[in-house]
Structure 1
Amino acid sequence: MIGRPRLAVVAAGVMLLATGCTVTAPVPDPGSVQTCGDLIAAAPAVVAGQPQRATDQPESAVAWGDPAVLLACGVADPPGFGPTSECYEVDGIGWYAEPVDGAYRFTTLDRTPRIQVTVPSAYEPQAAVLTDLSEAISTTIPQQRPCV
């Protein structure tokens, strides 16, 4: 009988650790779930030399490493984006870049659904991570408008 409480404590600890390993991602736009699923399936196993890890939105997001590089698909327009915002092209994909809490957040401007990649400052230069993701993005979500 003494073993059962210990087992419960160990099980609770394992659940807490498992939850702590999952990266929180934005909830996708419902209309983009199929397209986002195709992108997630095509995502590379390694980005910036880091292995994939779980997210709480596995149908629309994937992460790598710790601190996590997070790719989320089906996101809304970024808060700072406007008609005069700059678009940076990396491997034929147009990105809007903005600093956020010790990271850079890159959001596609030339594709729908929008893709957002958050890269912590531990991965310098942060824009280099985008090259690891270019093939998966280009082959699953076609460009709809040029980056201008």
Structure 2
Amino acid sequence: MNIPRLRRRCLAGTSAVALLITAAACSATDDEASVVVPSPAAKAAGLCRDLHEQLPEKIEGLGRTDPGPKSEMTAGWGDPAIILRCGVPRPPEMIDPSYAKDNGVRVNGVAWLLQKRDDGSYTFTTGARLAYVEVTLPKERTGDGLGPLTDFAAPVKKTIPKGIA
């Protein structure tokens, strides 16, 4: 009579282990890109949602791999990912006209402020638009120069009007 009780305990233990394994398998991997999601004012958030709908499925041949947490304010392509964040605050360097002049680029009608990071990556932030859009190129993707920005120009021009945010 003790054998059936023992068998039930083993089956219950097996079910618990299976549940834990399943939960672990469904969780995010450590390799998934993660970003801080901007929280812009309502007007900029609306523009960012419009931009999100217009973003291409591929950038420089890299497929879409949006970072976590999922948001209409962020998008990503490739691994390591090119990351776009919309609705970011204006970079303080943008206020300095000489810095902006020396570190600004224009790609297909969109002005970008270029900032090189200590880790070898680059961050580009749109200027003179009603919402600031930031694109980060990881060190491994900087060999393509400004190529990725050409893929962002049309959607930015279409959805984020010129002006000062």
Which category describes the TM-score, using the shorter chain as reference length?
0.7 to 0.9
Residue in structure 1 matched with residue 116 of structure 2 by the alignment? 99
2:51 corresponds to which of 16, 39, 57 = 39
Residue in structure 2 matched with residue 29 of structure 1 by the alignment? 40
Q: Which has the larger radius of gyration?
A: 2
| Unpaired stretches in structure 1, ≥5 consecutive residues | none
2:62 corresponds to which of 46, 50, 54 = 50
Give me the TM-score of the superposition, normalised by structure 2: 0.78
Is 1:4 paired with 2:3?
no
Paired residues of 1:39 and 1:137 also in contact (CA < 8 A): yes
Tell me the CA shift for residue 54 of structure 1.
Answer: 2.3
Q: How does 1:93-132 map to 2 (within 5 A)?
A: 93-100=110-117, 101-123=119-141, 124-132=143-151
Give me the TM-score of the superposition, normalised by structure 1: 0.86
Tell me the CA shift for residue 127 of structure 1.
Answer: 1.4
Q: Stretches of 4+ moved more than 3 A in 1?
A: none
Q: Secondary structure at the match of 2:153?
A: helix
Once the two structures are superposed, residues 90-133 of structure 1 have per-residue CA deviations (whole angstroms, 9 ceiling, x without a partner) of 00000100111221100011211011000112221331110011
Paired residues of 1:120 and 1:126 also in contact (CA < 8 A): no
1:72 corresponds to which of 82, 85, 88 = 85
Q: Secondary structure at the match of 1:130?
A: helix
Work out the CA distance in 2 between the residues paired with 1:103 and 1:4. 44
Tell me the CA shift for residue 59 of structure 1.
Answer: 1.5
Work out the CA distance in 2 between the residues paired with 1:80 and 1:30. 21
| Structure ranking higher in helix proportion | 2
Pairwise CA RMSD: 1.9
Tell me the CA shift for residue 14 of structure 1.
Answer: 2.3
| Unpaired stretches in structure 2, ≥5 consecutive residues | 1-11
Tell me the CA shift for residue 135 of structure 1.
Answer: 1.0
Work out the CA distance in 2 between the residues paired with 1:78 and 1:126. 21
Residue in structure 2 matched with residue 142 of structure 1 by the alignment? 161
Tell me the CA shift for residue 20 of structure 1.
Answer: 4.7
Once the two structures are superposed, residues 66-106 of structure 1 have per-residue CA deviations (whole angstroms, 9 ceiling, x without a partner) of 11101111111124332222221100000100111221100
- What amino acid does structure 1 have at the position aligned with 2:83? L
Q: Secondary structure at the match of 1:117?
A: strand
| Identical-pair percentage | 28
Paired residues of 1:104 and 1:126 also in contact (CA < 8 A): no
Paired residues of 1:39 and 1:141 also in contact (CA < 8 A): yes
